[in-house]
Structure 1
Amino acid sequence: MKTAFSTVHMSLLAAVLALGATGAVNAKTPADQLIVGMSMVNLFSIDPANAPGLDASGVNANLYDTLIKRDQGNPERHVPQLAERWEVSEDGKQVTFHLRQDVKFHSGNSLTAEDVAWSLYRVMKLNFGLATTWKAYGYNVDNIQSLIRATDEHTLVIDLPQVMDPLLLVDSLAISPSAVVVDRVTALAHEKNGDLGAGWLVTNEAGSGPFVLTKWSANDSLLLTRFDGYWGGAAKLKRVVVRHMTESQSLRLMLERGDLDLAYGMAAPDIRAIDGSPKLQVQSLPRGTMYYVAMSMKQPEFAKPKVREAVRNLIDYKGLDEQVMPYYGKLNQQPMQLSLEARLPDPGYHMDVAEAKKLLAEAGYPQGFTTTIRTLSEPPFIDIAARLQSTLAEGGIKASIVTGTGNQVYGAMRARNFDIIVARGAERYPHPYFSLRTFVYNPDNSDDAGLPNFQGWRASFFSPQINSLIDKAGVERDASQRVSLYHQAQNLYDQEVGPIMMISQMTDTVVSASDIKGFTGDDAEATRYLGVYKER
């Protein structure tokens, strides 16, 4: 893959980025390019082994391929991608994938089953947060190469190391950010000190997707160029240019002027102002991720259940849902996605200052205490944090807000070094097992366990009984028994006053020009621009 930025590309990108500064009225973007505006503050790595964020997933979905894809929200149906077909053994202990034979990486190297096996081994060997998914299934750096292996150039055999529903593994291969296939030869050509190309892949790619990464300047711009040799047929657009923009009003102005084709992350007031415009279209994309308020149980105050319950009584769920979250999310108080059969109804948490003060006094804090709230400085995070700061004060808890970049805010949580955090959990799987594992499961509460993809571990929440219920559900084949186990886990989490308190399930609102066609947002933030075009 060529990463050098040619003079032609440089001139083209400069012209595109200058478009918004010309002051031109009724400007039009190039017909063969998609100009996207969005915040890139959370885009700090695109290495598939270490890029769990939604923004990185959105980029990598266009640079890489997975074996299979989930059929838009249906966890029990998957469609072929790199794998033409697959079968599960009768005993449920082995899955065999048969790969396409016409796939080329951007480098020109042929994609083989060995690349697939090595990509998953690489995730385990580097042992970043995304390795957690595979660890949970029983894989480790010592056994993964014998259990996940290529039996020939186009056949991949995966043995399950423990008793489990094989559908869970198939789901992970379809949707996990770490399940994309990396060009082994190219990555290893850039290896330094045994890092398997990790340093290079932070800002470069080695994929087989419909677009090639031509240029990425952190917190500035990103340029994707069509890969004409794509096995699924060349994209309709020649280029996708992403501009780093954090101001919602600027996004709105540039959309209205025609300087942008599509925008993510606009504030609710600006979306309301243009919703219904004949020149623009608004698409609401349901996401599996959750906005939440989390407390660290490593802090002595939040280690006490009555303090956590007090905080739960000082969250203005109704006010947040009605005044802050429109266009951002939908009320959800369970650690499980909406519309799932196994999800219990919301428990009805609501603001109750008197009850909160009573609980704080019983916990030994009649005068309250001081703490901090970490969050991003962009909406809706900062708005949620500001409302929380105000309502906590009504109960006597004085909280100061600490803002930072995505790496700083989430890094503090991954390091288990925070008091309160307003964040968004990257749960993408529409499945009760994955929801509960992400938000309430924690198999090892020690600091050196290194399980940052478990939100429960980040918050130092440890419940052996809940762990056991989730583990049993993961291997239970009887549907009614599975649902019962999921119900028990949700009820127990409520009784134990878990420190991660859901407030809303994410809705991603995308605004685009009316002539943009073929854009269908993926509910896991793996939206591809392969079929997008402009009707002009």
Structure 2
Amino acid sequence: MKHVSKRLIAGAALLAIAAVSSPTWAATPNDQLVVGTSLAQVISLDPQQGSDAKTMEILANAYDRLIAFNPETSEIYGQLAESWDIDDTGITFHLRDAKFASGNPVTAADAAFSLVRLFKLNQSAAAGLKTFGFNGDNAESLIKAVDERTLRVDFAVPVIPEALLYRMSNGPGSVVDSVEVLKHVSNNDYGNEWLRTNTAGSGAFKVRRWSPNELVLLEATPNFWGEKPAMKRVLFRHVPESQAARLMLERGDIDIANALTAPDVRSFEGKEDFVIDKAKTGGFYALAMNAGREPLNNPEVRRIIAAYGIDYAGIAKTIVGPYGRARNVPAPQDWEGAIENPDWSFRPEEGKELLAKAGYPDGFSLTIKTIAQPPRVDIATAIQANLAELGIKVDVIQGSGAEIVAQHRARDFDLLMPQTSATEPTALGSLDNFTNNPDNSAAANNAGNFVWRSDWDISEMHALRVKATQELDASKRLPMVEQLQKDFIASSPAVFPMFERFEPLVLSARIHGYDAHPWGLTRLEAVTKTD
């Protein structure tokens, strides 16, 4: 998706912006980019830990991966890898000549260290690649530096090579400067405590300052292997209030706004100084139900809520708008292999009768937890009103990204509204968040897995998903992908899609070369600004 950009923010110097709590804003200089966004979910700058879209938006510019993919064509191309060879047992990567921001050379040993570190840390960021059999025990034997510029990754299990490449192109595949990171290891934490607030990458920028829920300031590094970026600095400002962000964009205080409500996005329609754009993420706004708690442990109750209790069409029209479209199958409707949507619609009288037959004539009470950012709060409030008509009393609990994500991972919720992204731009990749749960036990502590977080045991569905990921013949794999979706709908899912998720943004017409990435991995080295 090619995107044109528009105005920038900051006054004379972003250093002054970063240092002053209430600066006076002016039209932004041509060598500085200011993004108004929500930083609520940015809780760690460690690329093998922080995996939400807003964190990736920052880290994609401080780090390189071995490979990346073009969101317009789905073509995989090299970043630190100039080329790669695929054989029956693995992939060999050949690295380019590059340096980290520190000046240290990028080597295959750094790439091996980074990938092994991902599995040793065993954070939720590793979930996408663990699907292919990698783990903290086998990573060192499967991922090795052959020489200074050659990395070998052996397959842990039979795998579709392109699927593995797509997942390696995501943020957790970032290559860190092992020399720098190893200086900061404490208590065998693989440098995690230090990397939570510092960057050690080879991207076009490095993090100069991070103040949680306030700002992140990036500064161009002279050691970048690619073309020198036109922007000397990039400032991500925490502007969680949509109306405030809209006004700042209109008066030139920020160049890009990507956390606006649907009405505020629409307010820019027809304005020649701005461009509205959106990235199709391949993911969803979802509803997670805790199948380990009554009455949500009853499949019939879950089915009633999903199939009768939510006005998907109405919410899509009045709230979601440019953020998405109604969709309950966990594969975008226009992707190959996606099946038709089920007949899930708002039928409160039928739902109320079915709840009575299921043993709940007087309904029951639940809470729904959501991160306090658009459009999730408004969706949660609409669900609250919908379920009230079935006799289900719902209290909405808002929180920061750190709070809600931690409670999700701890299975500490009744209902919760997460969002997903496709682990690869295929129907099978999109299904991963909804059909992957190898071990549902509490002892497994597989908190990187959405299904595990909902305490939903799906051993048969998981087995079919594994079989599909290991089927190299596409003509045989496609029927498995279709069957997975049918089984999912029939299963009274404990976590299911509500709306296919887009990421709308509004840019000042001064901005050029901004190419929004569906996974939040938007690179900024090619961005320029005109008067």
- TM norm structure 1: 0.94
Picking from 206, 215, 224, the partner of 1:221 is 215
Picking from 310, 315, 331, the partner of 1:315 is 310
Distance in 2 (CA, whole Å) between partners of 1:81 and 1:527 is 14
SS in 2 for 1:234: coil
Picking from 107, 111, 135, the partner of 1:116 is 111
SS in 2 for 1:326: helix
1:189 paired to 2:183: yes
SS in 1 for 2:405: helix
Distance in 1 (CA, whole Å) between partners of 2:224 and 2:333 is 36
Once the two structures are TM-superposed, the CA of residue 463 in structure 1 deviates from its matched residue by 1.8
1:444 paired to 2:439: yes
SS in 2 for 1:340: coil
Partner of 2:329: 334
- Whether contact under 8 Å (2:163, 2:424) holds in the other structure is no
1:87 paired to 2:110: no
- Whether contact under 8 Å (2:11, 2:27) holds in the other structure is no
Where in structure 2 are the equivalents of 1:420-439 lying within 5 Å?
Answer: 420-439=415-434
CA gap of 1:261–1:10, structure 2 versus 1, over 3 A, is closer
Once the two structures are TM-superposed, the CA of residue 271 in structure 1 deviates from its matched residue by 1.9
Report the AA paired with residue 345 of structure 1: E
Distance in 1 (CA, whole Å) between partners of 2:180 and 2:22 is 39
- Whether contact under 8 Å (1:17, 1:243) holds in the other structure is no
Partner of 2:493: 498
Distance in 2 (CA, whole Å) between partners of 1:464 and 1:34 is 48
Distance in 2 (CA, whole Å) between partners of 1:182 and 1:23 is 37
Distance in 1 (CA, whole Å) between partners of 2:272 and 2:491 is 51
Please report the RMSD computed on the Cα atoms of aligned residues, expressed in angstroms. 1.9
Per-residue CA distance 1:251-302 (angstroms, 9 max, x = gap): 1111111111111111122222222212222112211221011101001211
Distance in 2 (CA, whole Å) between partners of 1:217 and 1:11 is 20
SS in 1 for 2:65: coil
Once the two structures are TM-superposed, the CA of residue 322 in structure 1 deviates from its matched residue by 0.6
Once the two structures are TM-superposed, the CA of residue 497 in structure 1 deviates from its matched residue by 1.0
Which deviates further from its counterpart, 163-172 or 196-205? 163-172
Picking from 79, 96, 100, the partner of 2:92 is 96
- Whether contact under 8 Å (1:52, 1:426) holds in the other structure is no
Distance in 1 (CA, whole Å) between partners of 2:500 and 2:249 is 27
Distance in 2 (CA, whole Å) between partners of 1:195 and 1:297 is 33
- Whether contact under 8 Å (1:20, 1:259) holds in the other structure is no
Report the AA paired with residue 375 of structure 1: T
Once the two structures are TM-superposed, the CA of residue 74 in structure 1 deviates from its matched residue by 4.5
Picking from 143, 149, 164, the partner of 1:169 is 164
CA gap of 1:10–1:197, structure 2 versus 1, over 3 A, is farther
Report the AA paired with residue 166 of structure 2: D
Partner of 1:41: 40
Partner of 2:458: 463
Partner of 1:156: 151
Partner of 1:4: none
Once the two structures are TM-superposed, the CA of residue 121 in structure 1 deviates from its matched residue by 0.9
Consecutive unaligned residues of structure 2, counting only runs of 5 or more, are 1-9
SS in 2 for 1:425: coil
CA gap of 1:427–1:408, structure 2 versus 1, over 3 A, is farther
CA gap of 1:241–1:508, structure 2 versus 1, over 3 A, is same
1:235 paired to 2:236: no
SS in 2 for 1:518: strand
State the number of aligned residues: 521
- Whether contact under 8 Å (1:98, 1:155) holds in the other structure is yes
Once the two structures are TM-superposed, the CA of residue 432 in structure 1 deviates from its matched residue by 2.2
SS in 2 for 1:306: helix
CA gap of 1:73–1:463, structure 2 versus 1, over 3 A, is farther
Distance in 2 (CA, whole Å) between partners of 1:441 and 1:281 is 38
Which deviates further from its counterpart, 194-203 or 9-18? 9-18
- Whether contact under 8 Å (1:440, 1:455) holds in the other structure is no
Once the two structures are TM-superposed, the CA of residue 23 in structure 1 deviates from its matched residue by 7.1
Distance in 1 (CA, whole Å) between partners of 2:235 and 2:325 is 30
Report the AA paired with residue 471 of structure 2: E
- Whether contact under 8 Å (1:373, 1:402) holds in the other structure is yes
Partner of 1:289: 283
Which deviates further from its counterpart, 158-167 or 516-525? 158-167
1:13 paired to 2:11: no
Distance in 1 (CA, whole Å) between partners of 2:137 and 2:287 is 37
Distance in 2 (CA, whole Å) between partners of 1:73 and 1:335 is 21
Identity %: 36
Partner of 2:6: none
SS in 2 for 1:236: coil
- Whether contact under 8 Å (1:38, 1:242) holds in the other structure is yes
- Whether contact under 8 Å (2:262, 2:375) holds in the other structure is no
Report the AA paired with residue 224 of structure 1: L
Picking from 354, 368, 374, the partner of 1:373 is 368
Partner of 1:78: 76
Report the AA paired with residue 36 of structure 1: V
Once the two structures are TM-superposed, the CA of residue 18 in structure 1 deviates from its matched residue by 9.2
1:475 paired to 2:473: no
Q: Which has the higher contact order (CA 8 A, sep 6+)?
A: 2
- Whether contact under 8 Å (1:309, 1:359) holds in the other structure is no
